[in-house]
Amino acid sequence: MKLLLLQPPVQDYYDTDIRLQPIGLCYLKAAVKRHLPGVDVMVRDFHAGHGRRTVRVPRELSYLTGYYHIKDSSPFSLFSTYYHFGAPYEQVGRQVAGERPDLVGISSLFSTYQEEALRCAEEIKTLLDVPVVMGGGHATALPETVLAHPAVDFVIRGEGERPLVALVKALGEGRDLRTVPNLGFKDHGRLVFNPTEDNFPIEDLSVPDVSDLDPARYGSRGRPIACIVSSRGCPFRCDFCSVHSTFGRTYRRRSNESIIREIEQRYQEGYRVFDFEDDNFAFEREQTRRLLLEIVERFPPGTLDLYAMNGLCYFGLDAELLTLMKQAGFSQLNLSLVSGNPEVCAAHRRPCTVTGFEQAAVAGFQLGMRVIGYQILGLPGESLESMAQTMTLLARLPLLLGASVFYLAPGSRLWETRGGRSDQLKLARLTALATHSELVSRDQLYTLLVTARIINFLKGLKFGENKQGIPIRDVLEQDRSFDRRTALGLRLLRTLLSEGILCASDGLQDYPLKHFKPDLFHLIWSSTGSITTLKGETVRL
């Protein structure tokens, strides 16, 4: 039997450059090879490494043309062009058909990209009569919708290793499909969903098989990057998060021995950059401490470059743990704040200790880490004033603002309580500027995003003399001391502060941004007082 697992292309205004490795599919390949060694399994990535091309903005997002219509060359730019990232659908169909698989598995991780996954299934079906199984976060959250599509034969809900092994075995041996846990299938047109059961124990999962992937497609600063999953599940219950629909509500962590073995294996394969893709990497503090000590002991200083780009909860990240992270190879600290308002966080079942966040951010900075603090804009129930206060808090700390716009995620508690609908799936993305709160408008969300860009622009400036308390008027007069793009940003910021107008620039002409609300910007600007740069310098506003 021949099984082909594929990662589909995506369409959006932007794409990440790093976190593209289809680690979930590689886990599935390893599981099938371990339990069914006679099965030929291959992973095909049609997303990373296939370039991009401009495509038409979908009808559901047509309202965004007023926001993203200028190719802005300034440092404050957001988006302008809608792209297809990855191989054309026709190429996906041809290549898969050329492999002549007996079963095709398609990853459908994110609901906003579910159409791309389905288009791949359609193209494959036009060329080859082969069953298609779809899994991932979207297929788990909305299995009925996915399985109802004529190009989809099976759906797997939740973690996929054990169900996929059982499905492949059932198909190969002609067994009753009702014996396959977590499976959805069609019985003479009727949708049937088997009961869900636990996956294989996390300690029994094989190291992901990445042998089909070209390391050059997945890199950080020119070096190949390997994804590591040291745990699954999250102990928290944030109502805007959908991770529980796939990984359940039980936090499970691998032993340090197995994690170290995987890092050593990848090290022998030539990898030096590792990204821990956990939902909560440092939740078990003592185990994390021991893991970091083991890494420090086994690998020479400076050998590894470690990240946790999925975001770290700052709870428990004390000075000792952060110091060990730095020694082990963490040069960047991605901290998830969400909101600096404890009442807002409590309403969304999100733990919040602002003092703890500030302490972790400052400690990381003092250790020489590049710190990023994440804020969600537009959470239902959060006032515009509260969002502005969180942005002000982040502006004063020595970190970059990671501002993102809230969207309803299928599988989350908010999706259920706020009546999420299938026609909202394309809005489940940062770029959609989707408004699900009566307290903030789309223009205000847009303004907050751009304001975060302006603040980050100032945070990235380097004055060279470790100046403290430099007035903003002196900064704005230094445009000749910087490169052309920075000088453009300073010029546009001068205009905003003096005339109350923010413009975009295509290099030839300035264009006023009509959806940008200067009053909201000035509210944040005046209440911030000062901005701390990534070098720890202070700019007085």
- The answer as to whether 239 is a domain residue is yes
The predicted pLDDT at position 129 comes to: 97
Confidence category of residue 510, pLDDT binned at 50, 70, 90: very high
Question: pLDDT for 399-439, tens place per residue?
Answer: 999 999 999 999 999 999 999 999 999 999 999 999 888 99
Alpha carbon of residue 426 to chain centroid: 16
The predicted pLDDT at position 350 comes to: 93
Task: Find tokens 């809900």 and name the residue.
Answer: 157
Q: Is residue 232 domain-shared with residue 324, that is, in the same domain?
A: yes
Task: Report the predicted TM-score, pTM, of the whole model to 2 decimal places.
Answer: 0.95
User: Average model confidence (pLDDT) for the chain?
Assistant: 95
Question: pLDDT for 17-71, tens place per residue?
Answer: 788 999 999 999 999 999 999 999 999 999 999 999 999 999 999 999 999 988 9
Amino acid type, 25: L
Q: Is residue 177 domain-shared with residue 234, that is, in the same domain?
A: no
pLDDT at 315 exceeding the cut of 90:
no
pLDDT at 332 exceeding the cut of 90:
yes
Q: Do 205 and 164 touch, CB atoms closer than 8 A?
A: no
Six token digits for residue 335: 């901290």
Confidence category of residue 75, pLDDT binned at 50, 70, 90: very high
Confidence category of residue 466, pLDDT binned at 50, 70, 90: low
What three-state secondary structure class fits 403? strand
Q: Is residue 178 domain-shared with residue 292, that is, in the same domain?
A: no
Confidence category of residue 504, pLDDT binned at 50, 70, 90: very high
The predicted pLDDT at position 478 comes to: 78
- The answer as to whether 302 is a domain residue is yes
**What torsion do the CA atoms of 381, 382, 383, 387 make, to the nearest 10 degrees?**
-160
The predicted pLDDT at position 354 comes to: 94
Half-sphere exposure of 29 (CA within 13 A, CB side): 26
Lowest mean per-residue pLDDT among 149-158, 214-223, 278-287, 403-412 = 214-223
- Report how far apart, in Å, the C-alpha atoms of 291 and of each of 25, 199, 255, 256 are: 26, 25, 9, 6
Q: Is residue 15 domain-shared with residue 129, that is, in the same domain?
A: yes
What three-state secondary structure class fits 413? helix
Mean pLDDT, residues 248-275 taken together: 95
Q: Is residue 180 domain-shared with residue 304, that is, in the same domain?
A: no
Q: Is residue 179 domain-shared with residue 285, that is, in the same domain?
A: no
The predicted pLDDT at position 273 comes to: 95
139-167 b/e (C-beta count within 10 Å ≥ 16 → b): bbbbbebbbebebbbbbbbbbbbbbbbbb
- The answer as to whether 269 is a domain residue is yes
pLDDT at 480 exceeding the cut of 90:
no
Q: What angle do CA 384, 387, 391 make, to 5 degrees?
A: 135
Confidence category of residue 120, pLDDT binned at 50, 70, 90: very high
- The answer as to whether 114 is a domain residue is yes
Confidence category of residue 16, pLDDT binned at 50, 70, 90: confident
Q: Is residue 187 domain-shared with residue 250, that is, in the same domain?
A: no
pLDDT at 224 exceeding the cut of 80:
yes
Mean pLDDT, residues 138-148 taken together: 97
Please tell me the distance from the alpha carbon of residue 383 to that of residue 389, in angstroms, as a whole number.
10
- The answer as to whether 356 is a domain residue is no
Number of domains in the chain: 2
Mean pLDDT, residues 208-212 taken together: 97
The predicted pLDDT at position 73 comes to: 95
* DSSP-derived secondary structure for 226-293: EEE--EES-S---TT--HHHHH-S--EE--HHHHHHHHHHHHHTT--EEEE--SSTTSSHHHHHHHHH
Mean pLDDT, residues 297-325 taken together: 92
Q: Do 84 and 115 touch, CB atoms closer than 8 A?
A: no
Please tell me the distance from the alpha carbon of residue 253 to that of residue 231, in angstroms, as a whole number.
4
Q: Is residue 28 domain-shared with residue 110, that is, in the same domain?
A: yes
Q: Which domain holds residue 289?
A: 218-330
Among candidate residues 440, 436, 446, the one with its CA nearest the CA of residue 515: 446
**What torsion do the CA atoms of 476, 478, 480, 483 make, to the nearest 10 degrees?**
-80
Please tell me the distance from the alpha carbon of residue 273 to that of residue 330, in angstroms, as a whole number.
10
Task: Find tokens 């957001």 and name the residue.
Answer: 78
Q: Which strands sit side by side in the sheet containing 223-228, from one edge to the other?
A: 219-220, 223-228, 273-276, 305-307
Query: What percent of the chain has a predicted confidence (pLDDT) above 70?
Result: 99
The predicted pLDDT at position 482 comes to: 83
Q: Is residue 303 domain-shared with residue 267, that is, in the same domain?
A: yes
The predicted pLDDT at position 202 comes to: 96
What three-state secondary structure class fits 138? helix
Please tell me the distance from the alpha carbon of residue 246 to that of residue 228, in angstroms, as a whole number.
18
Please tell me the distance from the alpha carbon of residue 96 to that of residue 195, in angstroms, as a whole number.
31
- The answer as to whether 212 is a domain residue is no
- Interstrand relation of 332-338 and 370-377 (parallel, antiparallel or unpaired): parallel
The predicted pLDDT at position 146 comes to: 97
The CATH code of the domain that includes 289 is 3.30.750.210
Q: How many CB atoms lie within 10 A of CB 495?
A: 15
- The answer as to whether 181 is a domain residue is yes
- Report how far apart, in Å, the C-alpha atoms of 301 and of each of 122, 420, 446 are: 50, 49, 43
Domain ends where: 311, 330, 349? 330
Mean pLDDT, residues 442-449 taken together: 97
Alpha helices for 369-464 (secondary structure H): 384-395, 413-417, 442-459
The predicted pLDDT at position 465 comes to: 66
Mean pLDDT, residues 164-193 taken together: 96
- The answer as to whether 481 is a domain residue is no
Among candidate residues 340, 373, 335, 364, the one with its CA nearest the CA of residue 354: 340
Q: Is residue 133 domain-shared with residue 280, that is, in the same domain?
A: no
Query: What percent of the chain has a predicted confidence (pLDDT) above 90?
Result: 88
